[in-house]
Chain A
Amino acid sequence: MGRILIRKFLETFGFVLFITFISFLFIRMAPGDPVLTILNVDELSVSQEQVEALREEMGFNQPLLVQYGQWLLDFVRLDFGQSYVTGQPVMKMIMGGLPATLELTGGALVIMLLIALPLGSLSALYRNSWIDQVSRLLSIIGAAIPSFWLGLILIDLFGVRLGWLPTMGRDGWISLLLPSLTLGLAISSVYVRLLRSSLLDSMGQEFVRAARARGYSEARIFWVHALRHSLPPVITVFGVSLGSLIGGVVVVEVLFAYPGIGKLVVDSIRQRDYPLIQGYILVMAALVFVVNTLVDLSYRYLNPEMKLKERKAG
């Protein structure tokens, strides 16, 4: 396990190094002088000396590799530099938005579970009944609805017409409701069908028959034996589709003007605020690494077979 973890970490780390180098190159070669970008923020006329002074100060006149080395050194010290636009440290801005984004993601996952668990289980238990048909229809439509359109409809319905829920910003848990509902609905369609097919597979396994022969109640068989066995594939897909979740978060944050890091990065892309974009990449890489590791660890808990195999192998 430790070896796998280290390999995964090195893989992610290598890729991050690669992508930061590429992004570093892009920033230096990007149209427009970063020095001018920084100075133009104040919309004052700048003299040539000022430009040169700042260039000297930020080390832009050194060779590229030296600059990259300097940047890497700062990066190791978790110093991502300062935003071109606001002048604040990038790390501080990202850490300011991170809680909001995590709340939104958590809320969406809760909504997703509230939809997928009952609907998926019921459509597996009552296969080909009306509830199975309904969940099939929902998943087909759900896979085709863009999340931002779903969000617009929800805003129109609950925010504008009924006036029940706030549609913008972040102000207590109630403003979290519509964004998480949008994102949760958008991602749940995949998991409903996945849980269903995985459950159907588990219910046909030997150990379920054995449990039945031992006279356990159907409820216990379902909750203790079958459900646990059918979770690993679902979690695998969760790990794989983490990217679309993060992308979904970005879209939903922009849609609801929600002050998380997704909105932050979109704004900074529009303003070509490169240090912030780089900071976002690194934070996301860390996040993805943590989630993927958790996914790997969860297999061991959910699938006792794996632990046995490892013990056998020594």
Chain B
Amino acid sequence: MRELSTPAIPKRSKHSWQGIIAFLFVLITVMASIYAFGWLKYDPNTTDLGDRLQEISMLHPLGTDHLGRDVLTRLLLGGQQTLGYSLLALGAALLIGIPFGLISGYSRGWIDRIFMRIADGFLSFPDTIVAIVLSGLLGAGIGNLVLAIVIVKWVNYARLVRSTVLSEAQKDYVQIARTNGLSPARIMRRHLLPHVIGHVLVLASLDLGKIILLISAFSYIGLGAQPPTPEWGAMLNDSRPYFQSRPELMIYPGLAIVSVVLLANMLGDYLRDRFDVKREVQS
């Protein structure tokens, strides 16, 4: 433990402190979302007009909204929606992007050329527009929004993986593995994947906040989760006419989004410092 107090270390220990906080909050958020599965007192979508716009009380810890629905219940379930769909989109983008990047970077040749054409095409067109267009063509709805995000995001991961693989594949250990007769699939899985995965996870955690913001923004303007579903952005849109009489209805979902995104960004920054990934990952 003594070495930790030498002057060179404090920067590191500050970061690990940040990391611990971030992980703790992640744990709390995840637990709150899981809690929402089991112990809910109220149905999030049952309206009770006699109970509308209630103040904070023992029965309703955060009051009720304009249709008499319990705000805390909807907030927790909204977190499930927002986080769940964000993670789903991210996971699917990774599942598509990583193999594409590996194959394209390792095999080179015509596969790689085709891939780069596609990737350049996507880059020449901003991703938010592609998302708007796709949800426009497929129709408004959370599923289509997730699909749009996946279609836009996988290219980034594939590009990152490809560039890492391009430089890794030149190194001795890959050459040795190849001369030892390992199949390309095995080389990719056993040797290249572990090198790539750190960078990819950092990029993914930095993306998580952006995806959460995108999903809630699209839900706010009515292109994401549709009204009865408790999603944070949709909740803000839902109760907008009542902000003057009950400003809390505006505060809670907003604060929830801010804190979760803040958390995701902190986690991403921590991972980036921890794994020492260069700036290329940032934008």
| Chain A residues in the interface with B (C-beta under 8 A) | 8, 11-12, 14-16, 18-19, 22-23, 26-27, 30-31, 140-141, 143-149, 152-153, 156, 160, 237, 240-244, 246-247, 250-251, 254-255, 265-266, 268-270, 272, 274, 277, 280-281, 284-285, 288-289, 292
Given A11-B121, A240-B283, A247-B131 in contact, is the A148-B240 Cβ separation under 8 Å? no
Contacting pair A266 B124 (CB below 8 A): no
Contacting pair B133 A152 (CB below 8 A): no
Residue from B222, B250, B262 within 8 A of A144 (CB atoms): B262
- B125 surroundings in chain A (CB, below 8 A): 12, 15-16, 19, 243, 285, 288
Contacting pair B126 A26 (CB below 8 A): no
Contacting pair B265 A144 (CB below 8 A): yes
Give the residue name and chain of the B residue nearest to A151 (CB): B220
Query: Once the chains are docked, how many angstroms separate the CA of A153 from the CA of B139?
Result: 30
Contacting pair B236 A148 (CB below 8 A): yes
16 contacts between A and B (CB under 8 A): A8-B124, A11-B120, A140-B262, A144-B265, A145-B258, A148-B221, A156-B250, A160-B244, A242-B126, A243-B128, A246-B128, A254-B222, A255-B220, A266-B222, A270-B222, A288-B129
Q: Which of B21-29, B59-67, B209-217 contacts its partner?
A: B209-217
Q: A146-B254, A148-B233 are in contact. List 9 more A-B contacts (CB 8 A).
A: A15-B121, A143-B265, A144-B257, A149-B250, A152-B250, A156-B244, A250-B128, A266-B222, A269-B132
The size bracket of the interface on B is 35 or more
B135 at the interface (CB under 8 A from A): yes
Query: Once the chains are docked, how many angstroms separate the CA of A226 from the CA of B198?
Result: 36
Contacting pair A144 B132 (CB below 8 A): no
- B240 surroundings in chain A (CB, below 8 A): 152
- A237 surroundings in chain B (CB, below 8 A): 283
Query: Once the chains are docked, how many angstroms separate the CA of A171 from the CA of B129?
Result: 27
Contacting pair B137 A277 (CB below 8 A): yes
Given A26-B137, A152-B250 in contact, is the A144-B209 Cβ separation under 8 Å? yes
Interface mask (B101-132 → A, CB under 8 Å = 1, otherwise 0): 00000000000000000001110111111111
Give the distance to chain B from A277, nearest Cβ to Cβ, in Å.
4
Query: Once the chains are docked, how many angstroms separate the CA of A145 from the CA of B212?
Result: 11
Provide the main secondary structure of the chain A interface. Answer: helix
- B223 surroundings in chain A (CB, below 8 A): 266, 269
Interface mask (B77-120 → A, CB under 8 Å = 1, otherwise 0): 00000000000000000000000000000000000000000001
Residue from A27, A146, A153 within 8 A of B137 (CB atoms): A27
Contacting pair A152 B254 (CB below 8 A): yes
Give the distance to chain A from B78, nearest Cβ to Cβ, in Å.
13
Provide the main secondary structure of the chain B interface. Answer: helix
Contacting pair A247 B265 (CB below 8 A): no
B228 at the interface (CB under 8 A from A): no
Query: Once the chains are docked, how many angstroms separate the CA of A18 from the CA of B217?
Result: 27
Give the distance to chain B from A253, nearest Cβ to Cβ, in Å.
9
Query: Once the chains are docked, how many angstroms separate the CA of A14 from the CA of B122?
Result: 11
Contacting pair A149 B129 (CB below 8 A): no
Residue in A143, A144, A284 with the greatest tally of chain B CB atoms within 10 Å: A144
Contacting pair B126 A277 (CB below 8 A): no
Contacting pair B133 A281 (CB below 8 A): yes
Give the distance to chain A from B136, nearest Cβ to Cβ, in Å.
4
Give the distance to chain B from A272, nearest Cβ to Cβ, in Å.
7
Interface mask (B131-174 → A, CB under 8 Å = 1, otherwise 0): 11101111110000000000000000000000000000000000
Query: Once the chains are docked, how many angstroms separate the CA of A160 from the CA of B28?
Result: 35
B261 at the interface (CB under 8 A from A): yes
Contacting pair B221 A149 (CB below 8 A): no
- A12 surroundings in chain B (CB, below 8 A): 124-125
Contacting pair A266 B265 (CB below 8 A): no
Contacting pair A149 B257 (CB below 8 A): yes
Query: Once the chains are docked, how many angstroms separate the CA of A270 from the CA of B124?
Result: 27
Contacting pair B132 A250 (CB below 8 A): yes
Query: Once the chains are docked, how many angstroms separate the CA of A288 from the CA of B127?
Result: 12
Contacting pair B124 A26 (CB below 8 A): no
Contacting pair B126 A288 (CB below 8 A): yes
Query: Once the chains are docked, how many angstroms separate the CA of A240 from the CA of B258?
Result: 24
Query: Once the chains are docked, how many angstroms separate the CA of A192 from the CA of B48?
Result: 47
Query: Once the chains are docked, how many angstroms separate the CA of A215 from the CA of B168?
Result: 48
B37 at the interface (CB under 8 A from A): no
Contacting pair A266 B221 (CB below 8 A): yes
Query: Once the chains are docked, how many angstroms separate the CA of A128 from the CA of B77?
Result: 41
Give the distance to chain B from A29, nearest Cβ to Cβ, in Å.
10
Given A15-B121, A160-B244 in contact, is the A277-B217 Cβ separation under 8 Å? no
Contacting pair B137 A15 (CB below 8 A): no
- A152 surroundings in chain B (CB, below 8 A): 236, 240, 243, 250, 254
Contacting pair B128 A156 (CB below 8 A): no
Residue from B128, B233, B244 within 8 A of A247 (CB atoms): B128
Contacting pair A269 B129 (CB below 8 A): no
